[in-house]
Structure 1
Amino acid sequence: MSRRAPAFWFIRPASTAATLLRPLAALYAAGTARRLARGRRIRLEVPVICVGNLNAGGTGKTPTVIALAQRLGAQGRKPAIVSRGYGGTVSEPTRVDERRHSAAEVGDEPLLMSAFAPVWVAPSRLDGARAAIRDGAEILLLDDGFQDPALHHDLSLIVVDAAKGFGNGLCIPAGPLREPVSAGMARCDAVMSIGPPAMQDRFRTTWGSAITVPHLAGALAPLQTGIDWQGQRLLAFAGIGHPEKFFATLRDLGADLVRGEALDDHQPFTPALLQRLSAEATAAAAQLVTTEKDAVRLPPDFRRQVLALPVRLELADWSALDALLQPVLGSS
């Protein structure tokens, strides 16, 4: 979602504003259930792993898809990623080419993920999946699509931000959920919560009893790129689901963060915005820095002025995920 989530979505117990919106939330949940019930769930000739969420907005799906693509590739598999390409303009199945396509055409997340595996973008996930199979994919990673009834999922993984959890537990517009937690648990195979240990502990305390499937825990860690962030004077900007997490990561690395500009998720970089950021960085004698996902959306000339901090999903123990993947891989 491109707009900042309302603060009351994450207040427990539910605030007065959320309570007043409960009837609309019930209608939203019922609509999701009806759409899923009407789906044909077509089974394809290769396994489909869905990486989705219950929350609207960013939860860490992209790093999870990248981690799965890398792990499958290291095992000699040929994965491909299928995406709707949020914000893109393609009207038919298109294999993303970072040398030829822009984020405006195919979406920022597909452009980022194309460095790790073939990525197919299409308005219809079914059409994108079939195009990927014709292109030689042996296993499909579905980026989002947990609430899309078109495809049968051989494995469904719900990703959740450990710090935010499932918010106040209510559906849109009273809360952040696309469907109730209980409904999601009934259809998924595992939950992946992403965050540092303290947030994982809080997530387990708050939501552990609601999770009825295997629960995996991971964290996003900065990729070692050779840049020494210690003491660097930075002006950061980020248009992701939770920009404050990016700013906190820079501070944890020892950077001198002059200011963090929190943008809406997928917010366009207008010339006026970029000019303002550049002028402010110059006046503050600071280096501009942003996320990997934001960097791919920058105009090439401006991109050369900006450092990017990539992060990768890390799991303390991959065996639980491998155990979930094995039955799927055994059928491929």
Structure 2
Amino acid sequence: MRAPGFWWREVSWGARALAPVAALFGAIAGRRMDRGVRADAGLPVICVGNLTLGGGGKTPTCLALAAAARGLGLRPGFLTRGYGGRERGAVLVDPARHDARAVGDEAMLLAAAAPTAVSRDRLAGARRLCEADCDLAIMDDGFQSAHLRCDLALVVVDGVRGVGNGRVFPAGPLRAPLMTQLRHADAILTVGAGPDARPGFAAPGLSHFTADILSPNGAEFAGVRVLAFSGIADPGKFHRSLRAAGAEIVARSDYPDHHVFGADDARGLLQEADSLGARLVTTAKDAQRLHAASAGVVRALHERTSVLEHELRFAGEGDAEAILRRALDAYAAREAAA
């Protein structure tokens, strides 16, 4: 789905009209978080979640934490639901056999970095990571599911959009009432908007970290006319990264989150790029979906499209390691008390 504009405005008739539905949704979501029975995964678990629907930077955060974990001598693995994929059981992703149609675009990105279990049943997925000899699970999303015991819950907040109008879906972008969610969080990571970024709400008692999204290959787009297309929750973040790299965006095509590109999409994008003399550029997630559907004219689009790479960098030296050690200490204390 594409987020409605009124989610990001403080006062709107749309939010007010949907307030009764939002109150019901919020009550159900909050009760599920408060009363959920959380199972023990058998290994330390860090949950990387969002307070809002999509676009916060969870996947780059997971990748950055995994890199730091390997630096500490750990064997991290990723746990994800596999949104957009057709697999229904607990599956360990095989990059040589699976694609985004089977396990989802995020799972394919994660699996390139570490063992990745795709499962709607989080406990079953965690067990697959144990079988793969992982000693740390980094869970991409699942903060609101209340099914798996987490040793540290890190919520990622976009430094530009924050929590929008502060209302619960569908009146706003929040997945559950803000204070309910914060009760279950251990730390906040604000991504973007500079080194002094703050989440835009009070969170006493929670650790706060900041980070930025960098583009390692951004220099190759400097001064280049580009047609930017993507199917992600917040295309504005993609556009800002391109402009920061010095690209000239002469056209843009924004599709719904996790959009599967078809022949008509591909034909239109190729024709528009040719007419404008522009280079086609997309995100890594979109490239995974293009690769999975790569046949005919979609294959031609895939072959002609460049990817703007993204990498999350924590603002403070040692921040990632501090998050990891806190989770490991919490798990050790829990094990000692059992």
TM-score, structure 2 length as denominator? 0.91
Query: Within 5 A, what are the aligned runs for 1:225-236?
Result: 228-236=220-228
For structure 2, list consecutive stretches of 5 or more residues without a partner in the other structure: 333-338
Matched, 1:290 2:292: no
- Answer whether contact 2:158 2:191 (CA < 8 A) is retained: yes
Query: Within 5 A, what are the aligned runs for 1:177-256?
Result: 177-197=174-194, 201=197, 203=198, 206-207=200-201, 209-210=202-203, 212-224=205-217, 228-256=220-248
For structure 1, list consecutive stretches of 5 or more residues without a partner in the other structure: none
Q: 1:173-212 CA distances to partner (integer Å, 9 max, x unpaired)? A: 11110112211111110011111218x54x45x32x2454
Matched, 1:269 2:269: no
Q: How far is the alpha carbon of 1:236 from its aligned partner?
A: 1.2
- Answer whether contact 1:93 1:123 (CA < 8 A) is retained: yes
- Answer whether contact 1:50 1:157 (CA < 8 A) is retained: yes
**1:71 aligns to what SS in structure 2?**
helix
Report the CA distance shift for 1:154/1:230 in structure 2 as closer, same or farther (over 3 A).
Answer: same
- Answer whether contact 1:181 1:210 (CA < 8 A) is retained: no
Matched, 1:85 2:82: yes
User: Residue in 2 aligned with 1:319?
Assistant: 318
Q: How far is the alpha carbon of 1:287 from its aligned partner?
A: 1.4
Q: Hey, what's the Cα distance between the residues in 2 that align with 1:292 and 1:212?
A: 35
- Answer whether contact 1:4 1:265 (CA < 8 A) is retained: yes
Q: Hey, what's the Cα distance between the residues in 1 that align with 2:54 and 2:278?
A: 30
**2:316 aligns to what SS in structure 1?**
coil
Query: Within 5 A, what are the aligned runs for 1:40-59?
Result: 40-59=37-56
Q: Hey, what's the Cα distance between the residues in 1 that align with 2:157 and 2:104?
A: 22
Q: Hey, what's the Cα distance between the residues in 2 that align with 1:256 and 1:44?
A: 47
Question: Which amino acid in 1 is paired with 2:305?
Answer: V
CA RMSD of aligned residues (A): 1.7
User: Residue in 2 aligned with 1:7?
Assistant: 5
Q: Hey, what's the Cα distance between the residues in 2 that align with 1:317 and 1:224?
A: 23
Question: Which amino acid in 1 is paired with 2:303?
Answer: R
Q: Hey, what's the Cα distance between the residues in 1 that align with 2:319 and 2:42?
A: 25
Q: How far is the alpha carbon of 1:22 from its aligned partner?
A: 1.9
Matched, 1:117 2:110: no
Q: Hey, what's the Cα distance between the residues in 2 that align with 1:149 and 1:228?
A: 43
Q: How far is the alpha carbon of 1:223 from its aligned partner?
A: 1.3
**2:79 aligns to what SS in structure 1?**
strand
TM-score, structure 1 length as denominator? 0.92
Question: Which amino acid in 2 is paired with 1:31?
Answer: I
Q: Hey, what's the Cα distance between the residues in 1 that align with 2:303 and 2:96?
A: 16
Q: Hey, what's the Cα distance between the residues in 2 that align with 1:37 and 1:229?
A: 47
Q: Hey, what's the Cα distance between the residues in 2 that align with 1:235 and 1:117?
A: 32
- Answer whether contact 1:244 1:262 (CA < 8 A) is retained: no
Question: Which amino acid in 2 is paired with 1:275?
Answer: R
Query: Within 5 A, what are the aligned runs for 1:57-68?
Result: 57-68=54-65
Q: Could you tell which deviates more after superposition, 27-36 or 139-148?
A: 27-36
**1:197 aligns to what SS in structure 2?**
coil
Identity %: 39
- Of the candidates 130, 136, 141, which is equivalent to residue 138 of structure 2? 141
Q: 1:294-315 CA distances to partner (integer Å, 9 max, x unpaired)? A: 1111144332211101111111
- Answer whether contact 1:216 1:321 (CA < 8 A) is retained: no
**1:176 aligns to what SS in structure 2?**
coil
User: Residue in 1 aligned with 2:335?
Assistant: none
Question: Which amino acid in 2 is paired with 1:219?
Answer: D
